[in-house]
Each structure stands twice: as C-alpha cells, then as structure tokens.
Structure 1
Amino acid sequence: MKPWREVAVPHQDVLEGTFQQSEFAADITAVSTGKASREYQDAVAFFDRTFITEGMALLLTQVAQRLAGKGGEPVVQLQTAFGGGKTHTMLAVYHLATRKCTLSELAGVSALVDKAGLMAVPQARVAVLDGTAYAPGQPWQRGGQTIKTIWGELAWQLGGTEAFTLVAQADATGTSPGKDVLRALLEKYAPCVVLIDELVAYVRQFPESQAISGGSYDSNLSFVQALTEAVKLVPRAIVLASLPESDLEAGSQRGVAALRALEKTFGRVQALWKPVATEEAFEIVRRRLFEPVRDEKTRETVCRAFADLYIAEGVKLPAETQERRYCDRLLQAYPIHPEVFDRLYEDWTTIDGFQRTRGVLKLMAKVIYRLWKDDNKDLLIMPGSLPLHDGNSRNELTYYLPAGWDAVIERDIDGERAETTALESREPRFGQVGAARRIARTIFLGSAPSSVVSKAAVRGIDRAHIILGCLQPGQTSSVFADALNRLADRLHYLNASGDKSQDATRFWFDTRANLRREMEDRKRRFDDKTEVRGRIAEAVKKAVGGVSFFDGVHIFTPHADVPDDTALRLVILPPEAWYTKDETRPASEAVLDTIAKNGAKPRYRGNRLIFLAADHGALARVSDVARIVLAWASIVDDVKEGRLNIDLLQKNQAEKELKSAEDVLPRAVRECYKWLLCPMQDTPTDQKPGVEAFVLNATGSAAGAEIERVCTDNELVIATWSPVHLRAKLKELYWKGGQNTANAAAFFEDTLRYLYMPRLKSREVLAKAIQTGADSRDFFGTAYGQTDGKFEGFAFGSGSVVFDDTLLLIEPEAALAYEEANRPKPQPSDSGSGQTPTSPAAKPEYPIPGDLPVGGVSVPAGKPNAPTPAKVKSFFGAADVPAATAKMRLVQLADEIVSVLASDPNAQIRLTVEISADFPDGATDTVKRAISENARSLNLKTADWE
C-alpha cells in the first residue's frame, strides 16, 4: 500500500502554498465584471473543478427548463448556512446562461439537460445584483448613465441605456417601479436570469423612515415583491436570490428585520435547494484541492485494507464502520478520511462563522500543504494527521474558537514542548506510531467546537471515534487505547466524563485547566516524612494488617517499640530501608539492627521476627500515588468545606479521581512491598547472622495469604512439626557430651532466641510434636524432673504428656536403659506348694468381685450354691501427689478415676483436694501474698496459715 501523497497529488497552487484565501471565496460580482481568477471566470474551468451536488443539479435543471420555456420555477430562494455554497451555485447558473462554448464542454451539464428532456439550453442575459457592491445613498456610473437604485442597475445590466429608460423615472425618485414595468422589461430581454446576492446586506443600510438616493427601506422591499410577481408572468425569466440562514449573518437588528421581511416576500415560492451533504463535500474538496486520482487500484486497495481492519477490530470502533457502505465512503473521500469530514461538517459547522464549504477548503488546503512539506506517509489524511504544530493550520481552526486555545495546543496536544511529544520520547511503542499526538489531535478536532456551542448536549468525543481517527492498517488499537489512558492521567487541559477506562467515556479539551493541574500543584505540598509516609502506612496496613498468621504486625515501627516476647511478629520496614537484588544493605542492616536491639537494651527473642521490605524500583511510584491520593482528598475536602468553587462536573470528577487513586494505591503497595526478609544463621558457631530474601507474588491471592504461603513453603515459620525433626534437633544440640535429657520449656525458649533454631509458630506446635512423639518409643522418653538419678513420672511410649516447665525429653537409648534398670524382678517360685505365688506387683490393688468376703469368710468364685455377693455402694480413694508431677498426676486421676466413676449417671461424686505445705524456714511474704490472693480468687473453703 502506498501513502496518500503517492496516489493523490494536490493542485499546484495547494502544493506550492501559493493559494490565496480569497480564491476560495466565490465573488459573483468579480465574475460578472471579468475580474475573477480563471477557475471562477472561465466556464469550462469552473465546471471542471465543480462537483454538481444534488441541490445544484436540481436548480440547474429548473433554470434550463425555465430558459427554454418548458416550465420550471420562476423564483428560487437559496437559503443555507454560511458557507453552504449559495454563491457557488449562482455562479453555476451564471456560466450556464452566459457560456460561450457548447454544453458538452461543461462537465456534468449535458447529462442534466438530457435528464430534463431538453435538446439545448438557450443562452440568456444575466443581471447580477450584489448587495455588497452598491451604496444605497451614493449613485454609481454605468457608461455615461448615473444609477441610484438596484432596479436601475437591473435594467442597465439587461439592456443598457435602452432598458434603463423604462425605469428611469422610478430610479430618479427612488420609488419602486410597478409590476407592469418590470414585466415589460423582463419580456423584452427574455430569456433572462436575475441573480440577487447579499440582498440583506444592501437593504439593512437604509435609515428608518428616511429616503435617500437609493430609495427607502420600504421602496426596496416593494421592488423585491414587484419583481417576484412580474417574473412569474414571464415564462422565460427566472430570479435567484440568496438569503442568509442565521440572524448572526444578517448582522444588526436592522439586518434581522430586513431578513424577516425578505423571507416573507420570497416565502410564497418554494425554495428548490438542498444543502451540501457530507458525502458531496468529499467530492467538492477533492476536485478543488487534488488532481484526478489515476491509480484507482491502489486507492481501492488502501480503502479495502481500512475496511477490513475496522471489521477485525469490531466493537472497539464505531458501529458505522462495520457496514459495507463505509468502504464506499472511504473511496469517495480518498485521500481524506471520512472522519475528518464528519467532524468538520457535524461539529465545526455548528460554530457561527465557520463556512461549510469555504471554511473546510481553506483549512484542508493548509493542512495538505504542510503534510506534503513534512513528507507525511500516512495512508490517508486522518484526524490524527492534522499538523497542529504548524501555525497556519492551527490558526485556521483556533480563529473560530475563544482565546486561549494556542496555549492548550502547545502544552497538551502538538509541538516540541507538548506533553504528548514528551510521552512519545519516553515510550518507544507510542513514538513509533506517534500515538500520543494522534490521539490528542483527534480529541481536539472532535471536541473543541463544544466549548463554543453552548447547545451541545454532550461534550467531547467517545473512545471509539478517537481510535477511528488514529488507527491505520498494520497497527493495533491497543497501543492507541493505552496512549489515551496515559494522556487522561497526564494532560492538564484534557477532561473525561466518567471512568476513563469505559467505552462510553467521552474526552474533550478545554481552555480551563482541569483539576489535574490543581492536583499536580498540590502534590508537591506534602511532606515525605510525615504525610506521604502516613498515607503509605495506611495502605500497607490495609494490605497486610489483617494477617492472622502473625500475632502482631508492626508498620514502620522503631525497633524499641517492637515487643520482645514470645509472639510471632511481622515487621514492615520503613521506605528508606529498601531492598533490591543488587543492593541489599539498607534493608539487611535494618533487619539485623532490629533483631539485636530493643531500644537501648539487647533483644533476647530475635527469632520471632519476619520482615517485609519495599522494592527500591517501585518506591517512587508508590510515593507518587500516595501524593495523588492526598492531593485529590484535599480538593474534595476543600469543595465540601466551600474553600474551592468548581462546577458540578468537576466536583464529580474530583470524587471519581480520588476513588480511582485510592484503588490504585493498594495495588502499587503490593507491587512495591514484595520482599519478605528472614534473619538466618545456619549453625551456632556462625559469627554473624545473615538475611535471606523471598519474593512475594504481587498478583493473585491477598497479601496475607501470600506471606503465609511463602513462610510455610520455605519453612520460615513452622506451623506443623514432626517429632522426627524434634528428635534430630535434640540430638544435634542437646543430647551430647554425656547429656541425655533436655528440658522442653528451655528448648522452646531457645527457639525464640537463636536464629539457627526452628522458628515455631507457637508453643502449641512444639506441644503437639511432643505429644505425637510420646506415643512412640522411637523418638524420646518423658519425665517430670530427676532426683538422685530417678525420673519423676517417667514414661516411654505410653502416650499422655503434659507440656509444663518440668517436662524432660530423654534420649531414646537412655530411656530404654532406664526402663530396663527399673523393671520389677520376679520372686523365686515355691516348688513344694505346686503353685506359683503372686508377686506383690501382680497382686490386684482392689478385690475381684468374685473373691469378696462374705460374713468374714472368703468364698471362691464359681462354687456351687455360693450366695450372691452384695453390691458395693460407696468408693473412697486417696492418693499422695508429688508436687513435681502434680499437674500430670491430677490429670491422670481425672481421666482414669473420676471420668470412670462419672460414667454411671446415678453416681454422686464428691471431690476434695487437700493441700498441705510446710516451710521449715518460714514462708516468704511474696509466696504468702500470692497464695492468699489465688486462694480467694479460686474460692478455696479453707486457706489458713500457721
């Protein structure tokens, strides 16, 4: 595919920039006096560059029929918006009537004549009454004749001195000639055409209730009425008059009154005029600005590629691009994209003063000249192609806009110092296709008129039309969509309605700086050490504050304020203690400092701390987002408190921007605080501990769940421990050098202190490991103290264990040896009795029911005729409980005695615990006070000291 410049070549005057703005303004007086440029003066050249629109074709047909005496309307009123082609159409009628060539030489005219059913169109006399060419109070000369009125001018142009004599008296007195005089004039010089242009501009000059040389206001209105009545009576005469559509074009109140009066005069005759349609404007502009396209195949290839691209993009583009006829529009408008015409004709022509045809031609001529000079290689001239950095092109648009738009364009849209240019320099993927500037130009073209037209119901241009104004074959819409989102967050004069990421959002530029500029100014006011850090801390707290895995979370807390206890704690380091793979020192020093110190005192339980640090590369973004949140929050607060006056749209924008920034901050914090740091020490002999780093996944699960996963997967914190690992650690560190026991409570205390010990989540983790290990003879034996080589409450593989401060864990071989040494020895057997005596240990502690004494005599169980023994009804039990194993023994008594007795629902159970303690040297006041207070709180029946 070739760029437009290789297929459609501009006319020489456009190409060289030698055109004059005035050349685009059709001047019917200049043509009638032979002073116009060739493309307007010469009939053949005029029709070569003129596209005959539907409205012009209808009018030329009416004129041809009228001049041939075959019908047609006698009076036609041309009334369209400023620049709607009225004068150009009248020139077409002028050349048709005054041609000095055959009809076949006038492009497009022969077909119209054939369609009208005529063999030919007679040449005719033409009178041109241009309201801007005459002064009502100042006579003018025609040959040797002085003329004072427009009816005198009409007669002179139709028949010279001879014709002027018919209206000479009326011209001298300034009174309107009657209908009969005008009828005689038209009949004598028929076929004839009367072209009246800018009549309002002439009539509004007459002073009220005063006659001057040109007559009076009323006499001129009477002339117009008489002329329209007369021409209806002459079959081969026609009058064409152009009137402005708007009051603004009419000028003063006097002009508006004249317009209303003339509209009533001409209003009795149906106007045969249809304004230029957008599709017709394609051809008008192309014929005037470009040479005929000779490479039709390339044009079709390019347009087809655009159409295929639009279908592929689907809903990302406007619905009309999915229709087959959009390809036809591309072909008709080539090399200019239809979206350029749509924006100019639908938006810019709503501005008073912007001419539908002349304004577009003037603009596009300057645009094409600059693009040609800049060697533009776009496939089509698109909204995103407009060279707004060029002063001539920019001025052609800003001329119709209020003051202040130059600053908007230079700052936000196009130019060396524009934000869009800076963004493209930083982002190569945007710079390769000029995405930022193309987006901004498209938004400007589609939204600037809404700043002028107060009746605009909806401001701005939607996302789909913005992408349409930029996207070309070989490109993807996602690049432009990303650029749009970036610009919406950066530009000072760009506004958006609603959520910027939604398709229904509309974007527009305005000369008033948006609230973003106010926000940018406020961003710089906040202090890093206090306000910004506090806002980041709040976001971190929301992200990880609810982590149930830790007993405490400390955010930016000095090490003196982190408790030194048994709780497992997560410490989030402050921003200055950041971490990267290449530079670990700031965070590592903070970690080692915290585990070593608790304020001025040393920290004893440093193995209870896990740390979270910020990534240095993401800190700047987090800080910036926090500032944005603070800035928007201050704006919203100022609006609520009445300290800042803005409109409702901006108020809603501020609230939405605040919510958007508050939504972004947690994500930024997650991406920044991603380094989980754990102090480590491999062996007790290591001179200095180290710090190991683990990366958190910033996406997916919540921050708390991710931290828990990393801690568990990497065994930074052990939530479930096997007795195998407990035995291994005991064997490594405790059961050696002749020592075969270890205190369980001391072991747990060591896990809190030393980095080479496992970091257990809680004391319960160790308790469960001990309980599991106690059920087996493979791991350790247990006891509750050791006195003179004897273990109190010794057990080996017997199950129930109470984890208290006296619990000992005994090396398995030592436990087995102790058990063998203390196993009861069997008694020697009595060979004479023939019976094996029962050992004292084997003797039952309680009588077997069948052997209970009856009447003082023991009756062996199972003897015939033995009386049924009476049921026992009471049980009394007492036991001495060693103080060292009191907790275990009381639990055993409760499980094995009290719970069995309670299994009978009819049993009535009473428990009495007696405690007796002797102090040979006397009890201390501390013990006495503590026991007395505890006795009262536990409601002991008696608690006496002697």
Structure 2
Amino acid sequence: MKMTPWREIATPHDDVLKGTFKQAEFAADISQVKAGNAGPEYQNPVNFFERTFITEGMRLLLDSVVKRISGKGGDPVIQLQTAFGGGKTHTLLSVYHLAEGKASASDLRGIAPILDDAGVTSLPQAAIAVIDGNQLSPSQPKKRGNVEVRTLWGEIAWQIGGDSGYSLVADADREGTSPGKEVLIELLKKYAPVVILMDEMVAYVRQLEEGKSYPGGTFDSNLSFIQALTEAVAAVPNALLLATLPESDTETGSVMGQKSLDALEKYFGRIQAIWKPVATEEAFEIVRRRLFNTINDTQAVDSICDSFAEFYRDNAEAFPNEVQEASYLRRLKNSYPIHPEVFTRLYEDWSSLDKFQRTRGVLQLLATVIYRLWKDGSAEPMIMPGSLPLYDPNVKNQSIYYLPQGWDPVIDKDVDGENSEPADIDTKIPHIGACYGARRAARTIFMGSAPSVQGQTVRGIEIKRIVLGAAHPETKPAIFSDAVNRLKDRLHYLNVDSDRYWFDTRPNLRREMEERKRRFDDKEDVFPEISARLGKIVNKGFFSGVHIFTASSDIPDTLDLRLVILPPDKPHSKTCEMATVAAKEILVKRGSAPRQHQNRIVFMAPDYDNLPRLKDQVKTYLAWKSIVDDVKQMRVNLDMLQTKQAEQNMENAFGGLNRMVSECYQWLMCPVQFPSRKGGVVTIEWENFRLNTSSKSIISEVEDKLVSEEMVLKVWSPIHLDNMLKQWFWKEDQQELKTQRLWGDICNYLYLPRLLDSSVLQKAIESGVSSKDYFAFADGYSGGQYKGFKFGHPASVVIDDSSVIMSLQQAQEYQAKLDEEARKKSEAEKPKPSVSGTDNGDDGGGLTPPTLGGDDTVPPAQKSTRFYSTIDLEAQTSRMKFDDIYQEIITLLTSKPGVNVRVKLDIEADASEGFDDNVQRAVRENCSTLDFKEAEFED
C-alpha cells in the first residue's frame, strides 16, 4: 500500500518552508527582545510559547520563578549551566515573558498548569533588567536616557528604575567600584518585584584584565559586585537573579575566560541549579513546534507510524531489538514527521561535538534539510537519516560546520552527490537504485559515524542501525544490506570493523589498494593468476588433458579428447570473434605443422562482457595481497585495525575470485562441419554454448553440456554407426574397414561424431555384430579367410590395425560362403551305407555275413565318451587363435545337450632377467580376480 508522504500531513512554518529563515534567528537573543527588535516568534509572548515546548527542566525552573516573583518562596539566585546550545537563552526568554506580564498567563501555552501547581492565581508585573555580556563593553559607556552608564550595576539600576534608580548607584558607577550590598537591597526593595537576567557573563568579565582599570570597573570590583548582588537578591523576598554560565571550554575561550568562569561559579554556585538538560524525547516536541505547524490529521500520523511498527515486527531480524518494543511506536508518533533515529543520532552522537549546540544546532540542521526536501518534492513517509540531502551545498555545509577539516571530499566522493560512488551504484544496479539504496545507506552511516573520533574504542554504527535509518515500509531491508556490502568494496573513506561502519577523513586502505592495482600488468600478473585459479577449479573430468592458456605447439595432436581453455585476451561474445579466431588457429595447426586429429579438441573461452570485472577482481586481490605481504615484511606500517582490514579484504577478494572465474569462463566452443548439398562438407563452423555459471563444478557442467548437446558421445547406437559407415565409408569397391583406421578418421574429421574415447566405438561394434542387421567384425584377414568372423553372435571387439568391420552386404556374402563350405564339409563327412548280399536260393554265391555268438545280427560300433586335446599358442596371436578354437571346437562339442566341457588354460612364462615387482603384483591381482587356481612366480 502506498504511504502518504510526510509533506502532505506536516506543513513546515513559513520561514522554513520558503527558506527565508536566517540561521541567527534560531539563536534567541534576549537583548533584542528587551529592545523590542526581535522576530515575532521571540518578541510576541503568545507566539513564543506557542512554539516552545516546556521541558521538565524548564517547568521546574518556571515553578520556582513564579513562586519567587509572587513572594511565596522559590530560589533567589538560579544558575543555568549546560552544554553549548543546551537551551539556556531560550529559558531566559521564557522567564522574561512570564515576568514581563504583557500577556495573560491563560494565553501562554503551557503556563497555566505551572501557576496552578505553584498556587498562584496571577503574576504581578516585574521590573526586569537584562544583561547581555556579549553586548556590553567595560571600556565603552552607554547613553541611557539622561545619564551615561559605565558599569554592570549602573546598567541594572537604570533598567530597573530609570534615572531615579540609577541615582542610587551613580557615584559607584562613575568611580567603577561596587555599590555594596545595602545600596543594592534598597534598590531592589524600591522597585520589587524585580527579575535580573544575566546572559553570557563570562564573555563580559573575561575582558577585564587583572591589574587594569576600565570605565566598567576592574576585575575585582565586578566580582565584588556579583557577590553583593547575590546576597542582596537573597535578602529581598520577591527579587530574582537568573544567570547563565557555559559548561564547555569552547564557550569559555581564553585562560582569562576560564578564570572568570571559576570566579563566577564560586558566587552563583551557592544555590544549586535546578536546570535539567533537554532529553531526547523532549527534543521531538521542541523541534516539531519550532519547525512545523500543528498537525491536525492525527489519524494519518497513526496510520503511518503503525505501518512502520508493523514493518519492524515483520522484519525483526533486520532491526535493533528496541524497535520491537511498544514504546517505540509512541516515539514514532511523538517525533513525526521526523524519524526517532534522527534525534537519537543527533542527541547521542552529534551533541558530543564541541561546537554542536544541542537545540540550536539541531534546529539549524533540520530546517535546512526540511527546506531542501520540500523543494525537491520528497515523497517519503518520514524524514530519516537516509533522507539527509547531503548533495545540497547548504545541507552539506551545515553538517560539516561542526566537524573537523577534511570532510568535503568524504561527502562528495563517498556519501552523496551526482558524482559519488553511492550514486554510481544506484545507477548501475537497478534493484538498489530503485529506492536510492546506496545513497540512503551512505547518508545513514555518515550521520551515525561522522562525530566519532579516532581515539574512541568503539566507532561507527551496526548494520542493523544502518538499515533502521534507511529502510521504510515501501522498501525491503535486504536491499540496504546488499548496498552496504557494495559500499564497503568501493568507498575510500568507509571503515569497517566486524559489524560496525564509519566514515573518516583519513582514507582507508582502499585508496592505497586502488593505486597498487595500477601497477599490475595483464599478461605479466593478471593472466598467470587466472591460469592458476583455473588450474585449481578445473580438473580433467573425462578429458585426457586440460590445456590452460597453452600455445598451439604445446597441445598434443593425439587421439585423446582434450579441453583447451583460451586466455583472457581471447574473449567471446555474439559480436566478438577473437575467441573463434584463436580457437581455429589451434584447431588447424600444431605450431607450424597441420593438426591431424581435429575432432579431439573442444574449447572454453571467457565472456567479453564479464572479462573486465574478472581482471579488476584479480588486480584487487593482488593489490590487497601486496599490502598484507608488505606489512609482514615490515615495509609498511599499519595499525592493528588497518592490518586486520587488509587481511580481511584480501580474503574476501580471494574468496570471490573463483566465483568470478566461473562467471567469466562461460562459453563452450565446439568445431563442427556439416555435409554440403552439393556433396562433400562445408567450411568449419562453431557451436557455442553458454555454461551455467552457478554450477558447483565447472568440469561437470562442461561434461553435461557436451553430452546433452551431443557434442561428445559417451554411448553410440550401432544404427548410427551403420548410417555413418553407409554415408562416408562404404563404396562399391570398399566394403570393409580396419577398426584402427575407422577410429582415426572419427578423431580426424569434424563432420564425424566426436566420441569420448575408442571404447564407445568398440561397444557400438560389439552391439551391432550381435545381430545381423548392421555389419560384421573379424579379428583379421589372412589367406582369404576372416579370422574370428562375428556376425549375429556376441563378440569381443578390439580397435587395432588387424581387426576389421565389414558392411552388411559383405558380411552376408561371407556368411553365405561359410554356410556353403560347412554344408559341403558336412556332406563329405556323412558315413556311406553298408553293401550286403541276398540269398534267393540261387546256386550263385553271395557273401554271407559272419555270425557271432550264434546271433544272426552285427553289433553296433561302441561310441567314444571322452575328448581331450592340447595345443601350444603364441602369445601375440593367442587371442585370435582362441576365438577359432572356441568357434570350431568348443561350439561343436556343446551343440548337443548333456555334454560337459571343461577348458583349462596353462600359462608358462620365462624371463631371463626376471619380472619387475610391479608386473608380478599386477599379474597376481588379475589372476585372483579371474579365479585362477594357481598363479605363482618362481626364482
């Protein structure tokens, strides 16, 4: 839901809204009010109390003043001593308007309850004397009516009683000596009730150099007067003296000023001050009354503040614990339209600065901020630390006025402005820039860290406070955490220690790092580091070799599958051909010689767009590493915090390097050729595939991509092998091919499939020859015969220079030949029928079969029941010969059921020089695996 902007609910006062205010107007000047020359917000008592929030400290003081003026008790002498800008003069003005009596107490906002508590129905009009130490000079008398006034006592007497009152101290005024307590008591009683307001007394007394006499008296005479005055006021029941003294050395000034303060404190300090400084909660109302008109739409305020409270509850892990408390909702409503975090930072951090005035300084800064935000049409729901428009010169000057020298470049470079680093981040990263996340985070860090000094043990603010000062319900907290992470990687003046961030005028090590980055050369320093990184994160996988930035002459021209990774100066993109040119040069040549096995190489190339980021990351890592190395070698002297930061930055840069290498090397390039319509093949083309850079393993992603895109085949169907043979190999005069040549051609020519290794071809042949649909296989050809011919039977295939693969046509013809030979052989081996005579009673003679045992039949011949044989095999041809034995003997023996065939293999080997230990170990292991009963080596 869209939230209502603060500017539609809370309207600033005209002087703030129009930018017509003057900074000096925030500094209440009591002497101008006494003279009737102040602005209406100070001069008019009704207007003054309308814009004045009566704090707890002011309420207690006014209660005492009311009682004293009415003669009902109260403190006669009150000393106000707070920090610079703590509201002392503003309190004097409250007493002045109350005692002057020009407006009814009922018309003064917040005064009636004070009178009721004091038991006073109405206040008498008092005679008021106002002494402004910054206006009076001990060396310059002033013309007052008909008299010339020289001293403090003369000025007070004239302001209380005019020429008549002055006459009581005229002699003491001319001589510069204190009139004494009795004269002062007489003066106060004559014109009572009397209120004496003394502001900036140290500023007056410190002008009186010891040992010198002035028209206004001497240092000692003025101190004697102060002592007499405090005693006289205490003696008159309805007389009151209220004096302000500074608390900080900034206001005290010189040594003489400090001495003056010590002396005045001695006299004014007899009565304990009842003043309480302005609390942060009270500051909400002070600022709101002074800068904004009364807010009437309380329902809208409640709605916005409720949205903030709900936002903090829903994202509790992103914010400080305090914002979860119910009291924080009350603080939101009390401070609206300014976020409580603004006051927290100003009153807890900025008020510690010597020159910063707790009330006046806050008003001056916020008025400038509000004017600029109003002018820019701010649509934010509240004014937050992240809203601080430091791009505005007036706001920037108002902010750094209280800070030491050197903050201009910090703000311009690292915090705010069109040319700042945060603005650049917002421009280039849309999800951050949509809510000005980098600038809002940087402003919040500035507001929470600028007042800190190098001597502090704990500096800066936590990430949760940064998010609190930057995020509102229309944004997401994570955006600002992301922005802070990016800021710490780029800013020169931002310091980080654990979870705390702060700006400092002293550049962090990032500037030193940036300068060192310029020293590193791409080819001499960057490329070797990228190569080393690739060597650690890219293993071989199913490749026989991975060649990183390797020259063409050093890449072997073998039958093994290889991955070639191109160097960073050969990137690839849809519009960049540098990688293609470099890959083709390696593909066609090995050094100066032609490359034969072109179908055994695939390439990886860096992405053109990501390459600058990778090179910059490498230089960043090398720069941090050089700093850390220099610290260890004591070539650079850093404090413990900077050393820790340098080591942490080096680790962060190192950790991000592998990720960026993977992101950059995202192109897989495979050379291919396709058949031409006119016959033959076309020129070399390139299939380029983008890798998934989020994969945990680069080599796994490369393998998966090659296999899924069928750029490398791990399994090959015999039908595809058969189709390839028909297309490219079988001709009318060529119907067989040696397997070694077939494998070599597959490795050489880009228009043939790219197999993982020869085993893929071997298994495809084995699968194909087990049926009679594709081709046949033979271990070799000799004497017009194909040895180990396999067609339609399982076969054990090897890829060598003797075995052959035969086309279906030739296989069928040869099988027919074998079948015919077998038929003829079978017929020749059939037994011929016996020839016997027949007795027809002829006298002629026929052969008469012999008779045995009186039986007239011939018994059948007895059948053999056991066969055994022995053969000596040569080791080099044993495999081929064993296939023949199996086919021609064992197959025949097992052709009928019930035959039990046992095959024994005896192996004897002699070595005159003995067998190596490695050979013996391997043979024993293999024999054990193959279930040999005996396998022993003898000496």
2:348 corresponds in structure 1 to 346
Residue 616, structure 1, aligned to residue 608, structure 2: yes
Segment of structure 1 superposing worse, 791-800 or 199-208: 791-800
Q: Quick one: structure 1 residues 726 and 42, their matched pair in 2 at CA, closer, same or farther if it must change by over 3 Å? A: closer
C-alpha distance in 2, partners of 1:195/1:690? 96
2:803 corresponds in structure 1 to 807
Shift of 1:64: 0.8
Residue 552, structure 1, aligned to residue 545, structure 2: yes
Residue 84, structure 1, aligned to residue 69, structure 2: no
1:858 corresponds in structure 2 to none
Shift of 1:828: 0.4
Shift of 1:569: 0.9
- Contact 1:98/1:126, CA 8 A, preserved across alignment: yes
C-alpha distance in 2, partners of 1:301/1:911? 96
1:501 corresponds in structure 2 to none
Residue 540, structure 1, aligned to residue 530, structure 2: no
Give, as a single letter, the amino acid of the residue that structure 2 aligns with 1:828: P
C-alpha distance in 1, partners of 2:794/2:425? 75
Shift of 1:245: 1.1
- Contact 1:829/1:837, CA 8 A, preserved across alignment: no
Matches within 5 A, 1:887-902: 887=879
Matches within 5 A, 1:921-932: none
Matches within 5 A, 1:793-942: 797=793, 805-809=801-805, 813=812, 816-817=815-816, 819-821=818-820, 823=822, 825=826, 826-828=829-831, 831=834, 844-846=866-868, 879-881=871-873, 885-887=877-879, 912=908
Q: Quick one: structure 1 residues 936 and 273, their matched pair in 2 at CA, closer, same or farther if it must change by over 3 Å? A: closer
Give secondary structure in 1 for the equivalent of 2:610. Answer: helix
Matches within 5 A, 1:280-295: 280-295=282-297
Segment of structure 1 superposing worse, 169-178 or 644-653: 169-178
C-alpha distance in 1, partners of 2:398/2:917? 97
Shift of 1:721: 4.8
Matches within 5 A, 1:158-237: 158-160=160-162, 163-164=165-166, 176=178, 179=181, 182-208=184-210, 212-237=214-239
2:555 to 540, 562, 567: 562
Shift of 1:694: 2.6
1:713 corresponds in structure 2 to 708
Shift of 1:600: 1.4
Shift of 1:586: 3.9
Shift of 1:152: 4.1
Shift of 1:734: 5.5
Q: Quick one: structure 1 residues 552 and 115, their matched pair in 2 at CA, closer, same or farther if it must change by over 3 Å? A: same
2:14 to 6, 12, 15: 12
Give secondary structure in 1 for the equivalent of 2:92. Answer: helix
Matches within 5 A, 1:245-644: 245-426=247-428, 432-450=434-452, 453-454=453-454, 456-498=456-498, 504-506=499-501, 508-544=502-538, 546-580=539-573, 582-583=574-575, 585-644=577-636
Alignment deviations for residues 52-89 of structure 1 (CA, whole Å, 9 cap, x no partner): 11111111011112222323223222111111110110
The TM-score, its normalising length taken from structure 2, stands at 0.83
Alignment deviations for residues 854-909 of structure 1 (CA, whole Å, 9 cap, x no partner): xxxxxxxxxxxxxxxxxxxxxxx963435762355589999x99xxxxxxxxxxx9
- Contact 1:802/1:888, CA 8 A, preserved across alignment: no
How many correspondences in the alignment? 871
C-alpha distance in 1, partners of 2:672/2:317? 56
Segment of structure 1 superposing worse, 394-403 or 565-574: 394-403
C-alpha distance in 1, partners of 2:883/2:235? 130
Matches within 5 A, 1:780-795: 783-792=778-787
Give, as a single letter, the amino acid of the residue that structure 2 aligns with 1:660: N
Give secondary structure in 2 for the equivalent of 1:616. Answer: coil
Q: Which runs of 5+ in 2 are unaligned?
A: 836-856, 891-904, 921-939
Shift of 1:793: 5.0
1:874 corresponds in structure 2 to none
Give secondary structure in 2 for the equivalent of 1:679. Answer: strand
- Contact 1:785/1:884, CA 8 A, preserved across alignment: no
Give secondary structure in 1 for the equivalent of 2:643. Answer: helix
Segment of structure 1 superposing worse, 179-188 or 570-579: 179-188
Shift of 1:831: 4.4
C-alpha distance in 2, partners of 1:431/1:363? 26
2:738 corresponds in structure 1 to 743
C-alpha distance in 2, partners of 1:35/1:783? 120
C-alpha distance in 2, partners of 1:168/1:564? 118
Shift of 1:110: 1.0
1:926 corresponds in structure 2 to none
- Contact 1:639/1:651, CA 8 A, preserved across alignment: yes
Give, as a single letter, the amino acid of the residue that structure 1 aligns with 2:114: L
- Contact 2:101/2:123, CA 8 A, preserved across alignment: no
Give, as a single letter, the amino acid of the residue that structure 2 aligns with 1:511: T
C-alpha distance in 2, partners of 1:382/1:750? 73
C-alpha distance in 2, partners of 1:560/1:697? 31
Shift of 1:237: 2.6
C-alpha distance in 1, partners of 2:918/2:384? 89
- Contact 1:774/1:800, CA 8 A, preserved across alignment: no
1:927 corresponds in structure 2 to none
C-alpha distance in 2, partners of 1:912/1:469? 88
C-alpha distance in 2, partners of 1:226/1:4? 55
Alignment deviations for residues 744-802 of structure 1 (CA, whole Å, 9 cap, x no partner): 33333333223344433334444555666777787766544322223445566476666
Give secondary structure in 1 for the equivalent of 2:93. Answer: helix
Segment of structure 1 superposing worse, 699-708 or 335-344: 335-344
- Contact 2:541/2:703, CA 8 A, preserved across alignment: no
1:29 to 24, 31, 35: 31
Segment of structure 1 superposing worse, 547-556 or 294-303: 294-303
Give secondary structure in 2 for the equivalent of 1:78. Answer: strand
Shift of 1:241: 1.8
Segment of structure 1 superposing worse, 225-234 or 242-251: 225-234
Shift of 1:551: 1.3
Alignment deviations for residues 11-52 of structure 1 (CA, whole Å, 9 cap, x no partner): 333333333332222222222333333332332232222221
1:762 corresponds in structure 2 to 757
Segment of structure 1 superposing worse, 456-465 or 171-180: 171-180
Give, as a single letter, the amino acid of the residue that structure 2 aligns with 1:627: K
Shift of 1:707: 1.2
Q: Which runs of 5+ in 1 are unaligned?
A: 499-503, 847-876, 898-908, 916-930, 940-946
Q: Quick one: structure 1 residues 268 and 381, their matched pair in 2 at CA, closer, same or farther if it must change by over 3 Å? A: same
- Contact 1:744/1:809, CA 8 A, preserved across alignment: yes
- Contact 1:126/1:193, CA 8 A, preserved across alignment: yes
Give secondary structure in 2 for the equivalent of 1:201. Answer: helix
Identity of aligned residues (%): 50
Shift of 1:165: 5.8
Give secondary structure in 2 for the equivalent of 1:752. Answer: helix
- Contact 1:784/1:885, CA 8 A, preserved across alignment: no
Give secondary structure in 2 for the equivalent of 1:516. Answer: helix
- Contact 1:780/1:815, CA 8 A, preserved across alignment: no
1:699 corresponds in structure 2 to 694
C-alpha distance in 2, partners of 1:83/1:801? 98
Alignment deviations for residues 589-630 of structure 1 (CA, whole Å, 9 cap, x no partner): 443432321111111222221211223332333233333333
Shift of 1:643: 4.9
1:127 to 98, 111, 129: 129
C-alpha distance in 1, partners of 2:271/2:907? 122
Segment of structure 1 superposing worse, 548-557 or 390-399: 390-399
Shift of 1:106: 1.7
The TM-score, its normalising length taken from structure 1, stands at 0.82
Shift of 1:216: 4.2
Q: Quick one: structure 1 residues 619 and 935, their matched pair in 2 at CA, closer, same or farther if it must change by over 3 Å? A: closer
C-alpha distance in 2, partners of 1:465/1:524? 36
Q: Quick one: structure 1 residues 689 and 247, their matched pair in 2 at CA, closer, same or farther if it must change by over 3 Å? A: closer
